[in-house]
Amino acid sequence: MMKVGVVGCGTMGSGIAQVAATAGHEVVVYDKNSEQAYKAGESLKKIMARLVEKGRKTQEESDAIIGRIRFIDDLSAFDNCGLVIKHIIFKELEDVVDADCILATNTSSLSVASIGSVLEHPERMVGLHFFNPAPLMPLVEVVPCVQTKEGLAEECKKLMEDWGKAPAIVKDTPGFIVNRVARPFYGEALRIYEEGIADFATIDWAMTELGGFRMGPFTLMDYIGNDVNYIVTETVFASFYYDQRYKPSFTQKRHSEAGYLGRKSGRGYYDYAEGAVQPEPTKDETLGKEILNRILAMLINEAVDAVFWNIASKEDIDLAMTKGVNYPKGLLKWSDEIGLANVLATLEDLENKFGEDRYRPSYLMKKMVEEGRTFY
Ligand SMILES: NC(=O)c1ccc[n+]([C@@H]2O[C@H](COP(=O)([O-])OP(=O)(O)OC[C@H]3O[C@@H](n4cnc5c(N)ncnc54)[C@H](O)[C@@H]3O)[C@@H](O)[C@H]2O)c1
């Protein structure tokens, strides 16, 4: 079994190391900050102890997993790794690792091609985009770039399956699948609020109660952090050459600027202070359906457009949204159930009303409606 190297042991690096060690690999984790390496080691022990306590792992399994991970402050320990994950310092890594070692980046925002461009042998470069927390979230986006050699993406996909993950292969494009397709969940919710149609609580109620989403958009943004969520949106918006579909929201920017970051700062769209009274939604079914239909139509439009541009297969797009962000159904499967013609009608209605490019339906959606086709 190949040895796995991880560079950086913050939130993502330590989670990924845990996943690889649980799958049976020897793992070396390097962080330039030795204090961080120590902290990650201590926190892993705590996480494993909790899993033993809950009966999810035996003491022996836990000891073996901890025993397989080595936290180091010297890159030379990567010498005989088969796979190294992270994006920084790839050039230095290449001098240390074997010629056939796969180099993978967990970047959410940089292009895999640009990271690979520093390498002598960029054909070994691939993106492996894990979701936070890595030990719990099944999805891994496997991202071959223009330089990646034939067959490497499939090899990585197989490896991720062996690690108990749900891999989806996706083109090296901004936001990959999830951070692209999910944008309207936040953006359209914010827009509906800005238009004065409904407040945060009512929009969240519509999406959870009527839509079956585990969390409403505002509750979720408060979880993710408004600063983080805003930056992802801004990055995607700029990366798509300012396509209006991804336009960020002033409401979110102002909340972020005000320090209303969400749970982590004690206040976001909601107040998380102890004893704070939460606002009541307006449980109006007609209004709720209007909100749900509008956000869902925008989400489905993104998913359909991603199919049109060959970003990923329809199966992988549905997998990504259910396994990466816990959507109750794959968006394309959902569109079959609602009827693509109904989704198109919602979008065309918004497009006519506002005259904004933001609401333009994907060409593929129009074509499929015309031909009476479904996704499955
Ligand atoms: N946090 C998320 O939700 C998330 C999800 C998917 C992907 N990512 C991506 O994962 C990466 C890391 O994110 P994170 O949230 O774990 O960050 P983090 O700040 O928690 O951890 C980064 C770690 O890398 C170390 N580091 C930085 N430069 C280094 C170097 N040159 N050599 C060795 N170690 C170095 C730092 O000391 C730190 O411990 C980013 O590229 C991010 O885009 C993050």
Tell me the pLDDT tens digit for each residue of 312-353. Answer: 999 999 999 999 999 999 999 999 999 999 999 999 999 999
From 31-40, 207-216, 265-274, the region with the lowest mean pLDDT: 31-40
pLDDT in tens, 240-256: 999 999 999 999 999 99
- Of the listed ranges 17-21, 116-120, 136-140, 284-288, the one predicted with least confidence: 116-120
What is the pLDDT at residue 136?
93
10 CA → ligand 1 middle, Å: 5
Using 50, 70 and 90 to split pLDDT, how confident is the model at 152?
very high
Residue 282 has pLDDT above 70, yes or no: yes
For residues 134-149, give the mean pLDDT. 97
> Residue 318 C-alpha to ligand 1 middle, in angstroms?
27
- pLDDT above 70 covers a percentage of the chain that reads 99
Ligand 1 centroid vs 115 CA: distance in angstroms?
15
Mean pLDDT of 290-295: 98
Give residue 86's pLDDT. 66
Ligand 1 pocket check for 105: Cβ under 6 Å: no
Percent with pLDDT over 90 in the chain: 87
Starting at the earlier edge strand, list the strands of the sheet with 81-85.
Answer: 69-72, 27-30, 3-7, 81-85, 102-105, 125-130, 139-144, 166-169
Q: Is 141 a catalytic residue?
A: yes
125 forms beta bridges with 103
> Does 235 have pLDDT greater than 90?
yes
pLDDT of residue 198: 98
Q: Please give the structure tokens belonging to residue 112.
A: 């895999």
89 lines ligand 1 (CB under 6 A): yes
On whether the 3-172 domain is CATH 3.40.50.720, my answer is yes
Q: Which of 18, 31, 228 to mutate to test the pocket of ligand 1 (most atoms within 8 A of CB)?
A: 31
Does the pLDDT at position 27 exceed 70? Answer: yes
What average pLDDT does range 69-74 have in this prediction? 88
- Residue 88 pLDDT exceeds 80: no
Of the residues 26, 141, 188, 302, which is catalytic?
Answer: 141
- Is residue 87's pLDDT more than 60? no
Residue from 301, 354, 320 nearest 184 by CA: 301
CATH placement of domain 177-376: 1.10.1040.50
> To test ligand 1's pocket by mutation, which of 9, 11, 16, 112 has the most ligand atoms within 8 angstroms of CB?
11
What pLDDT is stored for residue 112 in this prediction? Answer: 95
Q: What is the pLDDT of residue 185?
A: 98
Taking only the tens place, the pLDDT of each residue in 261-275 is 999 999 999 999 999
The residue among 295 and 85 whose pLDDT is bigger is: 295
Q: Which residue has the higher pLDDT, 173 or 107?
A: 173
Residue nearest to atom 12 of ligand 1 (CA): 12
Which CA distances in Å does 92 have to 109, 115, 123, 149, 163? 21, 13, 17, 21, 27
CB neighbourhood size of 22 (10 A): 21
Alpha carbon distance 146, 195 (integer Å): 42
Q: What is the domain partition of the chain in residue ranges? A: 3-172, 177-376
Best of 12, 29, 108, 232 for a ligand 1 pocket test (most atoms within 8 Å of beta carbon): 12
CB 25 less than 6 A from any atom of ligand 1: no
Active-site annotation holder among 129, 226, 301, 302? 129
In this prediction, residues 127-154 reach a mean pLDDT of: 96
Calculate mean pLDDT across residues 59-65: 97
Clarify whether 179 is annotated catalytic. yes
What pLDDT is attached to residue 83?
83
Question: How far apart are the C-alpha atoms of 122 and 124, rounded to whole Å?
Answer: 5
Q: What is the CA radius of gyration of the chain?
A: 22
| Ligand 1 pocket, residue 8 CB under 6 Å | yes
Residue 369's pLDDT band (boundaries 50, 70, 90)? very high
If you average pLDDT over every residue of the chain, what do you get? Answer: 95
43 is a catalytic site residue: no
Q: What is the CA(88)–ligand 1 centre distance, in A?
A: 9
Measured from the Cα of 8, ligand 1's closest atom is 24
Query: What is the model's pLDDT at position 159?
Result: 98
Judged against a pLDDT cut of 60, whether residue 84 lies above it is answered with yes
Q: Is the CB of 107 under 6 A from ligand 1?
A: yes
Q: What is the best residue among 78, 96, 108 to mutate for testing ligand 1's pocket, by most ligand atoms within 8 Å of CB?
A: 108
Known active-site residue 337: no
